[in-house]
Amino acid sequence: MKENNQTVSILMGSDSDLETMMEAARALDQFSISYDVEITSAHRSPDRTRRYVKTAEKRGTRVFIVGAGAAAHLAGVVAAETTLPVIGVPLSGSALNGIDALYSTVMMPAGVPVATVAIGKAGATNAGLLAAQILAVSDEALRAKLVEYKRGLAEKVEARSREAKKRLKNS
């Protein structure tokens, strides 16, 4: 992870979100994409959040990944302050297990887009992968890495299928 000239900014509303949001960082690490991690709150530190977003482009940010639970307004606040892509990760942890965060993240008004992924760790992983795909639009080397990644996924499925067939024959 590089702090200077990061390409992706990973934001979250609380340190309790860190374990889940590190899945986005792990996905970015697979492709050697630089990022920084920031804890900031739409509700408890709105001015700090706005300042961070407003200066992010100067620091090299090209995509935001934003995780929040419950009311989950952080991704929308970020999207309201930038023209850069924002990927929202709804987080569980509330009584509704993330459904409230999903609705808050996905139901943005026209003109304030937030690309929303699944709730929790799978969503955080997919957010990192989606950020990589966005960046790959203008980076052929990164695109080639993503093609290899997808090929690897397909190969794993084929290997698991062969293994399942062997197990069934031997039972």
CA angle 117, 93, 62 (to 5 degrees): 35
CA angle 89, 21, 145 (to 5 degrees): 90
Q: Which amino acid is at 84?
A: L
Tell me the pLDDT band of 5, cut-offs 50, 70 and 90: low
Q: Which two tokens stand for residue 133?
A: 């795909």
Q: Which two tokens stand for residue 154?
A: 């397909």
Which residues is 63 bridged to in the sheet? 8
Q: Tens digit of pLDDT for each residue in 80-106?
A: 999 999 999 999 987 889 999 999 999
Closest to 62 in 3D by CA, of 13, 144, 130? 130
Q: Where are the domains of the chain?
A: 8-138, 140-171
Q: Tens digit of pLDDT for each residue in 102-148?
A: 999 999 999 999 999 999 999 999 999 999 999 999 999 999 999 99
Given 3.40.50.10490, 3.30.70.120, 3.40.50.1970, 3.50.50.60, which CATH number is that of 8-138? Answer: 3.40.50.1970
